[in-house]
Structure 1
Amino acid sequence: MIATTAVQEARRAYFKQGVLPADQLGHAILRSWMRCSDMGLDAAAPAAAPDASAAEMRALQDRHEALRRLCRPELDALHAEARETGGIVILTNPEGVVLDAVGDPGFAGRAAQVALRPGAAWQEGAAGTNAIGTAIAERRPVAVHGAEHFFDAHRELTCAAAPIVDGRGAVMGVLDMSGHAAVQHLHALGLVKLAVEQIEHRLFQQAFAGCTVVRFHSDAALLGAARQGVLVFDDDRLVAANKRGLSLTGRSWADLDETRFDDLFDADLTRLEGPAQLVTAAGDRFHAAVDRTGLGASRPAPAALSDAPLRDTELAAMRAALDACNGNVSAAAKRLGVHRATLYRRLLSA
């Protein structure tokens, strides 16, 4: 977190003098300010209030009920932490619209002026620089403190948020902790990141029927834990992964559908059984567990995020995004939070 005086100086340089304060502000915050300026936002404008009716809000929550259930344990756990500092915990949908907000009622009352309540839209285009919207835009955990927010009306807030990403790299929602900027929230970002790791771990318990799942880590004791790497192969083609699995193998979401098992490890996937040792081309060694029944197929799978199969839901979301963006693939990919190449491949294979 940048010191308050430095941020105030950065605001003066950027908003009053038209100078980029590259040495006074975190790069993610500066990139967000620039995006907001490019969208024509006015930092002095009042904060927008939620515009969803009660009926629209119920329908929105119903559409994301499985996500809300999946995240409830972390919402409750983070609420216990936020209560210590009079904060609030927020879950949004992939577009940054608040689905649930739990926390100190007194703080929530004050925060109503800056729309920290269900139905509020926190994507950057509506709310400027903020932890939720900037985490979606940057596709990574972000903390935004006080005057780092684009809008003057949000200066009283300090926020930490992380996107919840599925095995195909699509953003499913965002988890956020927010509080008053005058109160220190030293560990908020770390707590949110850990909570999202647990959510994504459970999200991965959905069955991948007919696929081979490889769990791996340099520490055998961490196999089965949220911090393990997970890669999912259809035959020997990589079709899904968690963030840890991609990081450990030096890959990204753009490598899904294009990467083969032997591109990653010096081994034959068809011959791997049970506990195994894997070695990468770079010589990194991992303990691994191989499951050929599909992740979670040996036990009842938890409720999916919709009644449709995972790939059908993903395809429907991609087509809806394309329609909303008038067929612009780049804009649709950005809206979904996936790589453009992934969107092309998924649509062509449908």
Structure 2
Amino acid sequence: MTFQPEPARPAAGAPGDTGQPERDQLIAQAHQRSESYGLRPYESPDFCPVLQSELKTRIERSQSLFAYALPVMETLYDQIVNTQSMVILTDADGLILHSMGDDDFLARANQVALRPGAEWSEARRGTNAIGTALAENRATLVHGADHFLEANQFLTCSCMTILDPYGKTVGALDVTGDQRGFHKHTMALVRMSAQMIENQLFGNAFRDMVCIRFHSRAEFLGTLVEGIVSFTPGGRFLSANRSGQFQLGLSNGALHAHTFSSLFGLSMSQLFDAVRAAHAGIVQLHLPSGVKVSARVEWKSPAASLPGNTDAGQAVQPGTAAAPRSLAAGPARSPGLDDLDTGDAQIRAVIGKLRKVIGKDIPVMVLGETGTGKELMARAIHADSPRHAGPFIAVNCASIPETLIESELFGYEEGAFTGARKKGGIGKMLLANGGTLFLDEIGDMPLHLQGRLLRALQERAVSPLGSSKVIHVDVSVVCATNRNLRDLVANGQFREDLYYRLNGLVVRLPALRERGDLDAVAARLLRQDQAGVQPGEPPRIRESVMEMFRRYHWPGNIRQLCNLLRTARLMAEGEAEITEDHLPDDFLDDLRERQGHAAVPAAHMLPGAQPTRLADVEAMAIVATVKAHNGNISAAAKALGISRNTVYRKMEEARGLPHQAG
């Protein structure tokens, strides 16, 4: 069985609609409500829009909706240009926030106060697509004489409500035109555009959580019809988009009684294991109905890669989850710069420099080794900036194939290249409009695209691939790299003019081994990891373990420490503190090799062996232990208390030693 997007109820007021009785009933009920508000059909429209200051305040309240809707509105308008029409975005009260359309039709629309600042609720305008869609919370088409006020009956209007990631109505998207130019496909365009906005709002709200994108047909992944469901790293359900609810066969309210495990029949750790082994990142899952789906798993924690958490172990009943936040009130603030100050003098100096340029249109370049928390710093800069209510859009220039990075960054028109999605794609730079664009690993951007980026930054405008139109954007830019850009410039691998355009304030994040706040960082990471799974205090870290951490060189920096602590916390579940027994074997092996702290039992020493390095003693002792167990690697590893991989590696090392057993 193949699931498709949730079948839409007939759009109210559609001419020739097969659901005529239902349509007539809905319009009749809307007219009754209009009369109850004291309106009369022959009345003149209300020409009292809100003041500009109030309109600005209402836009700021709906900042996330506004930021994500604007590029979608541009694309939608391109589909209806020169058809005597306009595209309209409203807030949840029906107040028009923004509109765009054909100039001649905009002049006619202005005659009935169809412009930003005007409220088109049923209580103010009677039956109309915007007000009735918001009242009924459904796609609505009000055509010609279906409008309650006679002054509006020259219009045909197709409207779809927009839901936030928690199912609350935050606005509406509408196409209004001359009723003589009605086209039955307009509602489908509006519906798809609204769904695109919803999916982008969903991805932004849960960008630090585990998001699963799925469909019974793999080719539909990455399209508007894919289901999206979000969980905490521990498996607690957060939300699902419209298509996700339809495919799962459960509403958001019913889904709150489930965990990832109860829905998909496997633990989160099993899911992440499957992702690591998956071809092209696609795994196979089974829905509660038994239907097999293809899925992609996303988890963009600032400090770690895919975690190995187990499930939370208990279902969350409706009403017990944290109170959902309304996007109309703006997204929750991410950790700011103060949250990153855990006592290290170098980090504190970096934060001091950043505070002097935040909000002053100075580009920031963050340098540092892989895993030092460059994206976390970029998010903190955004959170403390005047743009904090706008989107934060991250682009990893090293992880996107060179053939796709141009379309990913600037967007593309339909048919721009083979395999392009129908209706084109919105670029990350446009998605960041009004917010912050984070270009990670900027040193890996292909040379031929650096010129386009420079031009876009200088002109504050982008042209999607395959298009001649120019779209103005307002973004703050933060870049990051672990490469030496000066050397790249000298070698002709990075444009000098782009280097100086991005080189406003350069700050360097110290490696973890260079920081003086290791204890505080470890404690913070443990608290964050615990909070994502269950309430309560995490286990303490034994002082002897912290001493090991201080001796270690941390090649993977904070990302490595985060993963190690996550594993240790799981191993220490139910215990008061993390000890050496809870640490991964590869960490202990690496520490012994580099620090020379291996303790080799005398019984395992080879006869006549006089190695000059403890690592050699260890390698030969392992060979002797394997011989003592008749070549059984698993038994030898168990006897030595190390992993099988370590045994194999040490045996390889021992082959070159002069005193190895014959």
Query: What TM-score, normalized to structure 2?
Result: 0.40
Match of 1:241 in 2: 240
Match of 1:163 in 2: 161
* Conservation of the 8 A alpha-carbon contact between 2:63 and 2:330: no
Match of 2:58 in 1: 60
Match of 1:252 in 2: 251
> Using a 3 Å threshold, how does the CA distance of structure 1 residues 209 and 104 change in structure 2: closer, same or farther?
closer
CA distance in 1, matches of 2:285, 2:152: 49
Residues matched between the structures, number: 289
> Using a 3 Å threshold, how does the CA distance of structure 1 residues 71 and 23 change in structure 2: closer, same or farther?
closer
CA distance in 1, matches of 2:109, 2:202: 34
Q: Structure 1 residue 307: deviation in Å?
A: 6.1
* Conservation of the 8 A alpha-carbon contact between 1:50 and 1:118: no
> Using a 3 Å threshold, how does the CA distance of structure 1 residues 307 and 101 change in structure 2: closer, same or farther?
closer
Two-structure CA RMSD over aligned residues (Å): 2.9
> Using a 3 Å threshold, how does the CA distance of structure 1 residues 227 and 310 change in structure 2: closer, same or farther?
farther
Map residues 1-350 of structure 1 onto 2, 5 A cutoff. Answer: 3=15, 23=21, 25-206=23-204, 208=206, 211-234=209-232, 235-273=234-272, 274=275, 275-293=282-300, 308-309=331-332
Match of 1:348 in 2: none
The one-letter code sitting in structure 2 at the alignment partner of 1:247 is: F
> Using a 3 Å threshold, how does the CA distance of structure 1 residues 179 and 251 change in structure 2: closer, same or farther?
same
For residue 286 of structure 1, give the secondary structure of its aligned residue in structure 2.
strand
The one-letter code sitting in structure 2 at the alignment partner of 1:218 is: S
- The worse-fitting range, judged by mean Cα deviation, of 65-74 and 112-121 is 65-74
The one-letter code sitting in structure 2 at the alignment partner of 1:282 is: S
Q: Structure 1 residue 288: deviation in Å?
A: 1.5
CA distance in 2, matches of 1:224, 1:2: 30
* Conservation of the 8 A alpha-carbon contact between 1:215 and 1:289: yes
The one-letter code sitting in structure 1 at the alignment partner of 2:34 is: C
- The worse-fitting range, judged by mean Cα deviation, of 247-256 and 100-109 is 247-256
* Conservation of the 8 A alpha-carbon contact between 2:15 and 2:143: no
The one-letter code sitting in structure 2 at the alignment partner of 1:283 is: G
Q: Structure 1 residue 269: deviation in Å?
A: 3.7
Match of 1:333 in 2: none
* Conservation of the 8 A alpha-carbon contact between 2:218 and 2:294: yes
Q: C-alpha deviations, 1:58-77, integer Å up to 9, x for none?
A: 33334434432211222212
Q: Structure 1 residue 179: deviation in Å?
A: 0.4
Q: Structure 1 residue 138: deviation in Å?
A: 2.0
CA distance in 2, matches of 1:116, 1:28: 23
Q: Structure 1 residue 93: deviation in Å?
A: 1.1
Q: Structure 1 residue 24: deviation in Å?
A: 8.2
For residue 84 of structure 1, give the secondary structure of its aligned residue in structure 2.
coil
> Using a 3 Å threshold, how does the CA distance of structure 1 residues 122 and 199 change in structure 2: closer, same or farther?
same
> Using a 3 Å threshold, how does the CA distance of structure 1 residues 282 and 69 change in structure 2: closer, same or farther?
closer
Q: Structure 1 residue 79: deviation in Å?
A: 2.0
* Conservation of the 8 A alpha-carbon contact between 2:89 and 2:97: yes
CA distance in 1, matches of 2:122, 2:147: 10
CA distance in 2, matches of 1:89, 1:217: 31
* Conservation of the 8 A alpha-carbon contact between 1:168 and 1:256: no
Q: Structure 1 residue 45: deviation in Å?
A: 2.6
* Conservation of the 8 A alpha-carbon contact between 1:86 and 1:107: yes
For residue 119 of structure 1, give the secondary structure of its aligned residue in structure 2.
coil
The one-letter code sitting in structure 1 at the alignment partner of 2:200 is: R
- The worse-fitting range, judged by mean Cα deviation, of 152-161 and 40-49 is 40-49
Unpaired segments ≥5 residues, structure 2: 1-12, 276-281, 306-326, 335-662
* Conservation of the 8 A alpha-carbon contact between 1:208 and 1:294: no
Q: Structure 1 residue 222: deviation in Å?
A: 2.1
The one-letter code sitting in structure 1 at the alignment partner of 2:68 is: L
CA distance in 2, matches of 1:253, 1:34: 32
CA distance in 2, matches of 1:246, 1:240: 9
The one-letter code sitting in structure 2 at the alignment partner of 1:237 is: R
CA distance in 2, matches of 1:145, 1:93: 22
Q: Structure 1 residue 198: deviation in Å?
A: 1.8
The one-letter code sitting in structure 1 at the alignment partner of 2:102 is: D
> Using a 3 Å threshold, how does the CA distance of structure 1 residues 307 and 29 change in structure 2: closer, same or farther?
closer
Q: C-alpha deviations, 1:95-133, integer Å up to 9, x for none?
A: 110011111122121122322101111122222221111
Q: Structure 1 residue 52: deviation in Å?
A: 0.8
> Using a 3 Å threshold, how does the CA distance of structure 1 residues 58 and 307 change in structure 2: closer, same or farther?
closer
* Conservation of the 8 A alpha-carbon contact between 1:130 and 1:144: yes
CA distance in 2, matches of 1:64, 1:24: 33
